[in-house]
């Protein structure tokens, strides 16, 4: 407590609070009536983190067979059948070898040619994956997997990467042994100056003021294709004042523009594409490619020419549906205003 009182004094002096306040031996008595003791059940409900030493890991187990069932019904739509998909998120499985499992260092990480880093190429601690899955997966329905299914699906992922055998049961009993097989288990370092405020920086530059670099060379320019890749910058700057945005839909001007002329400009109302994003439709649907749900173009094609398509799809959006486009159900969207649903459905069907 003594040490704490010192720390607290420092913190509170910095905070500009009265010094007399910290002379109270126990600050908690100062704040009577504020906060209450947490119950054991409450702590158990929320304290779900699992550390590298497996503190916090619940007892349980799951087979790769069960893991495959969970994977295919809950995970594969985003991550691909083999954990290799790069469609929605970066891949989980790939880039590790049997040799890496022996050495604990993923050799492909030293190659500049490796296009992507998969999760299993990076992660050193199997506890992280257990915690990640149990805490935050599936992505659109986090914390809906049981403890045993978390073991099962983690075991299945590890089996896809050939870290554990095809038929394997991962449990709290053997997870420490599996840790010894993690392909990048020796691939992390905490030895750097960016962990603490007083850490030593990597580089020491000098503040030269004159004749510092007589031959200035430009090592990299903005590529031509990137000029308008973030839409028209003329519309992302104030249309008055000293600095206008460049009209990036056009090649650079030949000369200074000089005097400016006047036109009116302002915000438009929200577009169907804006509604599509606002109501999170884009989480599961893309215009022309299949994501978690069908592509807009697929839906449009399926319902083309049907007289009651508007009504049917309006209902699908509102109350949800299942079975038309595979195993992942469309959740209900009762919170989306009726008018917005009409605009969205019309837009899906007609592009207008």
Partner 1 sequence: MTVEKKSRVFGRLRRAPENFVSEQFASDVYEHGMDETRRGFLRKSFVTALGAATAGGAVSSALAADGEKVILEKQQWQTTLGQPVAARPYGAPSQWEAALQRRESPGLTRVSAASVAFAPLQGFFGIITPNGLHFERHHQGWYDIDPAQHRLMVNGLVKQEKVFTMDDLMRLPSVSRIHFIECGANTGLEWGNVAVPSVQYTHGMLSCCEFTGVPLSTLLDMCGADLKKGKYILAEGGDGSGMTRTIPLDAALKDTLVCWAMNGEMLRPENGYPLRLVVPGVQGVSWVKWLRRIEVGDMPYASKDEAVHYIDLLPSGLHRQYTTIQECKSVITTPSGGQQLLDKGFYNISGMAWSGRGKIKHVDISVDGGNNWRRARLETPVLSKAITRFNMDWTWDGSPAILMSRATDETGYVQPMVKQLREVRGTRSIYHNNSIQAWKLDANGELSNVQVG
Find the binding residues for partner 1 in span 297-336 (CB under 8 A).
none
Choice between 141 and 322, CB closer to partner 1: 141
Smallest distance from the beta carbon of 198 to partner 1, in angstroms? 8
| Among candidate residues 347, 321, 320, the one with its CA nearest the CA of residue 335 | 320
E-strand ranges in 111-152 read none
Question: What character string, x for contact with partner 1 (CB under 8 A) and - otherwise, covers 239-258?
Answer: xx-xxxxxxxxx-xxxxxxx
Long-range contacts of 26-35 (CB under 8 A, 24+ apart): 26/1
* 3-state DSSP assignment of residue 30: helix
Is residue 224 part of the contact set for partner 1 (CB under 8 A)? no
Smallest distance from the beta carbon of 312 to partner 1, in angstroms? 27
Angle at 55 between CA 51 and CA 59, to 5 degrees: 115
Residues of span 40-59 touching partner 1 by CB under 8 A:
42-43, 46-49, 51-53
Is residue 20 part of the contact set for partner 1 (CB under 8 A)? no
- Asked if residues 91 and 116 have their Cβ atoms less than 8 Å apart, the reply is yes
Is residue 12 part of the contact set for partner 1 (CB under 8 A)? yes
Smallest distance from the beta carbon of 192 to partner 1, in angstroms? 5
* 3-state DSSP assignment of residue 62: strand
Smallest distance from the beta carbon of 61 to partner 1, in angstroms? 22
* Six-digit token string for 348: 């899906």
Residues of span 61-100 touching partner 1 by CB under 8 A:
87-89
Q: Which stretch binds partner 1 (CB under 8 A): 122-130, 149-157, 161-169, 323-331?
A: 122-130
Residues counted in the chain: 352
> How far apart are the C-alpha atoms of 224 and 95, rounded to whole Å?
33
- CA-derived radius of gyration, the chain: 28
Is residue 283 part of the contact set for partner 1 (CB under 8 A)? yes
Q: Which stretch binds partner 1 (CB under 8 A): 35-43, 66-74, 149-157, 320-328?
A: 35-43
Which residue in the set 189, 305, 339, 352 belongs to the binding site for partner 1 (CB under 8 A)? 189
Smallest distance from the beta carbon of 295 to partner 1, in angstroms? 14
What are residue 61's phi and psi, to 5 degrees?
-160, 160
CB atoms within 10 A of CB 167: 10
- Asked if residues 161 and 167 have their Cβ atoms less than 8 Å apart, the reply is no
Which residue in the set 19, 202, 307, 335 belongs to the binding site for partner 1 (CB under 8 A)? 202
Choice between 48 and 306, CB closer to partner 1: 48
Which residue in the set 19, 98, 113, 268 belongs to the binding site for partner 1 (CB under 8 A)? 268
């Amino acid at each position: 407590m003594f040490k704490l009182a010192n720390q607290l004094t420092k913190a509170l002096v910095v905070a500009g609070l009265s010094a007399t306040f910290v002379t109270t031996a126990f600050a908690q008595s100062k704040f009577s009536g504020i906060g209450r003791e947490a119950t054991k059940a409450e702590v158990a409900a929320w304290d779900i983190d699992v550390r590298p030493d497996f503190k916090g890991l619940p007892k349980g187990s799951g087979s790769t067979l069960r893991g495959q069932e969970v994977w295919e019904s809950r995970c594969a739509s985003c991550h691909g059948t083999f954990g290799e998909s790069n469609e929605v998120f970066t891949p989980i499985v790939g880039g590790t070898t049997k040799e890496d499992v022996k050495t604990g260092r993923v050799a492909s990480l030293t190659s500049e040619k490796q296009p992507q880093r998969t999760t299993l190429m990076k992660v050193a601690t199997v506890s992280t994956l257990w915690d990640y899955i149990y805490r935050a997966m599936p992505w659109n329905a986090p914390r809906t997997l049981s403890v045993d299914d978390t073991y099962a699906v983690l075991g299945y992922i590890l089996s896809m990467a050939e870290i554990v055998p095809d038929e394997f049961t991962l449990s709290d009993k053997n997870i420490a042994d599996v840790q010894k097989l993690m392909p990048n288990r020796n691939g992390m370092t905490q030895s750097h100056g960016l962990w603490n405020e007083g850490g030593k920086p990597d580089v020491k530059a000098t503040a030269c003021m004159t004749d510092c670099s007589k031959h200035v060379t430009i090592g990299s320019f903005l590529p031509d294709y990137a000029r308008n890749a973030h839409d028209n910058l003329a519309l992302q700057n104030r249309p008055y004042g000293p600095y206008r945005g460049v009209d990036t839909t056009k090649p650079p001007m030949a000369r200074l523009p000089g005097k400016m002329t006047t036109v009116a400009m302002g915000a438009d109302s929200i577009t169907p594409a804006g509604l599509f994003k606002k109501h999170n439709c884009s989480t599961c649907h893309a215009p022309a490619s299949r994501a978690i749900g069908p592509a807009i173009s697929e839906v449009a094609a399926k319902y083309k020419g049907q007289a009651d398509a508007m009504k049917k799809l309006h209902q699908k959006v509102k109350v949800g549906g299942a079975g038309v486009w595979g195993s992942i159900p469309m959740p209900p969207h009762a919170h989306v205003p009726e008018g917005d649903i009409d605009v969205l459905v019309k837009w899906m069907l007609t592009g207008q």
